[in-house]
Amino acid sequence: MYAHPLTLAVVFPVVVALAVESAGSPADGVDPAAAAVEYDAAFEAAARRGDFKRAVVYQLVDGRTSLTTAAHSVWDVFQTDRAYNVAIAYMPGDTPEARTASNLIDQAESAMAGSPDAPRVLERLAAEYRAAYGAPSPAAGVEH
Protein backbone atom coordinates (compact mmCIF):
# COMPACT_ATOMS: atom_id res chain seq x y z
CA MET A 1 0.00 0.00 0.00
CA TYR A 2 1.26 3.46 -0.91
CA ALA A 3 1.71 5.96 1.93
CA HIS A 4 1.61 9.52 0.72
CA PRO A 5 4.57 11.60 1.99
CA LEU A 6 2.11 13.94 3.75
CA THR A 7 0.87 10.97 5.76
CA LEU A 8 4.35 10.06 6.87
CA ALA A 9 5.57 13.61 7.48
CA VAL A 10 2.51 15.20 9.10
CA VAL A 11 -0.28 12.82 9.99
CA PHE A 12 1.68 10.03 11.67
CA PRO A 13 3.58 12.30 14.10
CA VAL A 14 0.36 14.14 14.94
CA VAL A 15 -1.49 10.88 15.63
CA VAL A 16 1.32 9.67 17.88
CA ALA A 17 1.45 13.00 19.73
CA LEU A 18 -2.31 13.02 20.24
CA ALA A 19 -2.25 9.43 21.49
CA VAL A 20 0.52 10.19 23.97
CA GLU A 21 -1.19 13.41 25.08
CA SER A 22 -4.53 11.70 25.64
CA ALA A 23 -3.11 8.63 27.37
CA GLY A 24 -1.97 10.38 30.53
CA SER A 25 0.24 8.61 33.03
CA PRO A 26 -0.10 6.83 36.37
CA ALA A 27 1.26 10.02 37.99
CA ASP A 28 -1.80 11.80 36.58
CA GLY A 29 -4.04 9.21 38.22
CA VAL A 30 -4.68 7.43 34.91
CA ASP A 31 -5.15 3.66 35.07
CA PRO A 32 -2.73 2.16 32.48
CA ALA A 33 -5.14 -0.69 31.68
CA ALA A 34 -8.02 1.72 31.09
CA ALA A 35 -5.76 3.95 28.99
CA ALA A 36 -4.74 0.93 26.88
CA VAL A 37 -8.40 0.01 26.28
CA GLU A 38 -9.18 3.61 25.31
CA TYR A 39 -6.16 3.76 22.99
CA ASP A 40 -7.16 0.46 21.33
CA ALA A 41 -10.71 1.74 20.79
CA ALA A 42 -9.41 4.99 19.27
CA PHE A 43 -7.03 3.04 17.03
CA GLU A 44 -9.86 0.77 15.83
CA ALA A 45 -12.10 3.77 15.14
CA ALA A 46 -9.30 5.41 13.13
CA ALA A 47 -8.80 2.18 11.18
CA ARG A 48 -12.54 2.05 10.36
CA ARG A 49 -12.45 5.68 9.18
CA GLY A 50 -9.43 4.84 7.00
CA ASP A 51 -11.21 1.83 5.50
CA PHE A 52 -14.26 3.99 4.82
CA LYS A 53 -12.15 6.65 3.09
CA ARG A 54 -10.36 4.05 0.92
CA ALA A 55 -13.73 2.64 -0.14
CA VAL A 56 -14.94 6.14 -1.06
CA VAL A 57 -11.76 6.76 -3.09
CA TYR A 58 -12.37 3.57 -5.09
CA GLN A 59 -16.01 4.54 -5.66
CA LEU A 60 -14.77 7.92 -6.86
CA VAL A 61 -12.21 6.36 -9.22
CA ASP A 62 -14.83 3.94 -10.57
CA GLY A 63 -17.28 6.78 -11.21
CA ARG A 64 -19.85 5.44 -8.74
CA THR A 65 -19.94 8.71 -6.80
CA SER A 66 -19.26 12.36 -7.53
CA LEU A 67 -16.40 14.33 -6.03
CA THR A 68 -18.75 16.58 -4.07
CA THR A 69 -20.71 13.64 -2.66
CA ALA A 70 -17.47 11.87 -1.75
CA ALA A 71 -15.99 14.99 -0.13
CA HIS A 72 -19.17 15.60 1.85
CA SER A 73 -19.28 11.97 3.04
CA VAL A 74 -15.62 11.87 4.05
CA TRP A 75 -15.75 15.28 5.76
CA ASP A 76 -18.87 14.20 7.67
CA VAL A 77 -16.96 11.21 9.08
CA PHE A 78 -13.59 12.93 9.62
CA GLN A 79 -14.55 16.43 10.79
CA THR A 80 -13.89 15.63 14.45
CA ASP A 81 -10.60 13.81 13.71
CA ARG A 82 -7.89 16.24 14.85
CA ALA A 83 -5.10 14.51 12.90
CA TYR A 84 -7.14 14.65 9.68
CA ASN A 85 -7.87 18.33 10.22
CA VAL A 86 -4.15 19.02 10.62
CA ALA A 87 -3.38 17.04 7.45
CA ILE A 88 -5.95 18.75 5.24
CA ALA A 89 -4.98 22.20 6.49
CA TYR A 90 -2.16 22.00 3.94
CA MET A 91 -4.37 20.93 1.04
CA PRO A 92 -5.68 23.38 -1.59
CA GLY A 93 -9.19 24.71 -0.96
CA ASP A 94 -11.03 27.49 0.85
CA THR A 95 -13.27 25.26 2.97
CA PRO A 96 -12.78 21.97 4.82
CA GLU A 97 -14.95 20.21 2.23
CA ALA A 98 -12.88 21.66 -0.66
CA ARG A 99 -9.67 20.59 1.11
CA THR A 100 -11.21 17.14 1.60
CA ALA A 101 -11.97 17.04 -2.13
CA SER A 102 -8.32 17.96 -2.82
CA ASN A 103 -7.22 15.17 -0.51
CA LEU A 104 -9.53 12.71 -2.27
CA ILE A 105 -8.13 13.68 -5.68
CA ASP A 106 -4.63 13.16 -4.30
CA GLN A 107 -5.63 9.75 -2.94
CA ALA A 108 -7.32 8.81 -6.24
CA GLU A 109 -4.20 9.84 -8.13
CA SER A 110 -2.08 7.62 -5.86
CA ALA A 111 -4.52 4.71 -6.14
CA MET A 112 -4.43 4.93 -9.94
CA ALA A 113 -0.65 5.27 -10.33
CA GLY A 114 0.33 3.55 -13.57
CA SER A 115 -3.26 2.93 -14.69
CA PRO A 116 -4.03 3.77 -18.31
CA ASP A 117 -7.37 5.17 -17.09
CA ALA A 118 -5.71 7.69 -14.74
CA PRO A 119 -5.63 10.67 -17.16
CA ARG A 120 -9.33 10.27 -18.01
CA VAL A 121 -10.39 9.91 -14.38
CA LEU A 122 -8.22 12.81 -13.21
CA GLU A 123 -9.65 15.04 -15.97
CA ARG A 124 -13.17 14.14 -14.77
CA LEU A 125 -12.23 14.91 -11.16
CA ALA A 126 -10.55 18.17 -12.23
CA ALA A 127 -13.73 19.25 -14.02
CA GLU A 128 -15.86 18.33 -11.00
CA TYR A 129 -13.53 20.23 -8.68
CA ARG A 130 -13.63 23.36 -10.87
CA ALA A 131 -17.41 23.19 -11.11
CA ALA A 132 -17.94 22.67 -7.39
CA TYR A 133 -15.25 24.86 -5.86
CA GLY A 134 -14.53 27.43 -8.56
CA ALA A 135 -10.80 26.79 -8.54
CA PRO A 136 -8.31 24.73 -10.54
CA SER A 137 -7.95 21.10 -9.58
CA PRO A 138 -5.03 20.17 -7.34
CA ALA A 139 -4.42 17.05 -9.45
CA ALA A 140 -0.87 16.90 -10.78
CA GLY A 141 -0.47 16.78 -14.52
CA VAL A 142 -4.03 17.90 -15.23
CA GLU A 143 -4.63 20.93 -17.39
CA HIS A 144 -6.16 23.64 -15.26
Q: Does 85 or 144 have the greater pLDDT score?
A: 85
What pLDDT digit, counting tens, does each position of 19-62 carry?
Answer: 555 555 666 677 877 777 777 878 888 889 999 999 999 999 99
SS3 61: helix
Task: Indicate the pTM of the whole model.
Answer: 0.74
Write down the pLDDT at residue 2.
Answer: 42
Write down the pLDDT at residue 8.
Answer: 46
Write down the pLDDT at residue 43.
Answer: 82
Question: CA dihedral defined by 22, 23, 27, 33, rounded to 10 degrees?
Answer: 150
Distance CA 117, CA 139 (A): 14
User: 9 Cβ partners below 8 Å, 6+ apart?
Assistant: none
Average pLDDT for the chain = 83
Asked if 110 contacts 2 with a C-beta cutoff of 8 angstroms, the reply is yes
Instruction: Report residue 39: phi and psi, to 5°.
Output: -60, -45
Of the pLDDT bands very low, low, confident and very high (cuts 50, 70, 90), residue 65 is very high
Number of Cβ within 10 Å of residue 82's Cβ equals 13
Mean local confidence (pLDDT), 70-84: 94
The answer to whether residue 110 scores a pLDDT higher than 60 is: yes
Of the pLDDT bands very low, low, confident and very high (cuts 50, 70, 90), residue 1 is very low
What pLDDT digit, counting tens, does each position of 86-100 carry?
Answer: 999 989 999 999 999
User: 102 Cβ partners below 8 Å, 6+ apart?
Assistant: 88, 91, 92, 93, 129, 138
